[in-house]
Amino acid sequence: MPDVRTVLVPDGLEGERVDAGVARLFGVSRTKAADLAADGHVVLDGRSVGKSERLNAGAMLEVSLPRADESPGLAVIAQPVPGMTIVHDDDDIVVVDKPVGVAAHPSVGWVGPDVVSGLAAAGYRISTSGAPERQGIVSRLDVGTSGLMVVAKSEYAYSRLKQAFRSRTVDKKYHALVQGLPDPVVGTVDAPIGRHPGHDYKFAVMKSGKPSVTHYEVIEAFRYASLLDIHLETGRTHQIRVHFAALHHPCCGDPTYGADPKLAARLKLDRQWLHAVGLGFEHPGTGEYVHFESPYPEDLQRALDIIGTL
């Protein structure tokens, strides 16, 4: 049975669109609110209304919400994530430092820990926007990549952050240890990325792919590898790994994209040397620019110490 909720439309929502008002009042995404209206589950003063109709202050609004066990998608099961650090927390956002081996959210075939389930286990209530298993997630990191992620707690924050990522105003800073020395030492990789035609789990530079832009600068050059400072203009899946593999400078420890397993063994790496070290954006609640940083995890620092001795 649906969860039927009834409220009087507050003065502050006078003239607001139905989908926007329902989203704010009942903590669902605007897309979900529009779907509810389209299915006849939004009733205003006894009349079913569409998503683009306007609310009247004082009117009786009745919304039939699906119960949690009726919602499609993968279940989010509260599961503590050892090593996941909360870097910042307020009413709108939570910034986490994700360890390696942790997914951003539940997905088909993944049985390990994930950020969404870890936040649930820690008692955080995050935005209900997005697919049920991806609630609050506005950007992702690969399971094998560690570092900073921002998760939306309010519906408004989710909307603002998604727009910020789409408009490319978020500063996403990574450090990567790649094989060899890129030439030039400061440059931009502008090459479209698409799903690899021969491997479902891989991506590749291809003409039919989506526009993908990576800016980089060599921080330090070693005999066998280089430490890079990287800023992403776009955010495609595996973007950094794919772009530098295409340049024949794969991330150390990344056999999926052609890294030398012998060098990885010498560096004691069992994952790609890639870390989201910095994240900056306009705070969706205050409008102020905020910036967060993450130190290297122990395994990456150890590999960096070793490469300097080779």
Give pLDDT, residue 71.
Answer: 45
129 — pLDDT class (breaks 50, 70, 90): low
Q: State CA 59 to chain mean position distance.
A: 38
Q: What percent of the chain has pLDDT over 70?
A: 89
Task: Please compute the mean of the pLDDT values over residues 91-118 and round it to a whole number.
Answer: 85
Tokens of 139: 């950007």
Amino acid identity, position 293: E
Beta-carbon count within 10 A of 53 CB: 16
- Judge whether 299 counts as a catalytic residue: no
- So what's the pLDDT on residue 96? 95
What is the model's pLDDT at position 80? 79
Question: 189-216: per-residue pLDDT in tens?
Answer: 999 999 888 776 789 999 999 999 999 9
| The token pair that represents 306 in the structure block | 């070793």
Q: What is the mean pLDDT of the chain?
A: 87
Convert the pLDDT of each residue in 10-68 to its tens digit. Answer: 776 788 888 888 877 776 777 888 888 888 889 888 888 999 999 888 888 888 876 54
- The residue with tokens 């939306």 is 152
With 80 as the cut, is the pLDDT of residue 88 above it? yes
Evaluate if residue 3 carries a pLDDT over 70: no
Given pLDDT bands bounded at 50, 70 and 90, which one contains residue 187? very high
Confidence at residue 227, expressed as pLDDT on a 0 to 100 scale: 98
**pLDDT tens per residue, range 226-241:** 999 999 999 888 999 9
Distance from chain centroid for Cα 246: 24
pLDDT at 192 (0 to 100) = 95
Whole-number pLDDT of residue 109:
60
Residue 268 vs residues 105, 180, 215, 299: alpha-carbon distances, Å = 28, 18, 28, 8
On the question of pLDDT at 166 being above 80, the answer is: yes
pTM of the prediction?
0.74
Nearest to 130 by CA among 143, 116, 119: 116
Cα dihedral sign for 145, 146, 149, 151? Answer: positive
What number is the average pLDDT over the span 242-256? 95
| Predicted local confidence at residue 72, as pLDDT | 45
Active-site choice (92, 97, 142, 260):
142
The pLDDT of residue 134 is above 70: no
Cα 135 → chain centroid: 10
pLDDT at 119 over 90: no
Give dist(CA 182, CA 176) in Å, integer.
12
Largest CA distance in the chain: 76
Structural domains of the chain ordered from first start: 3-67 (3.10.290.10), 72-152 (3.30.70), 168-310 (3.30.2350.10)
pLDDT bracket for residue 304 (50, 70, 90): very high
| Residue 58 CA, distance from chain mean position | 39
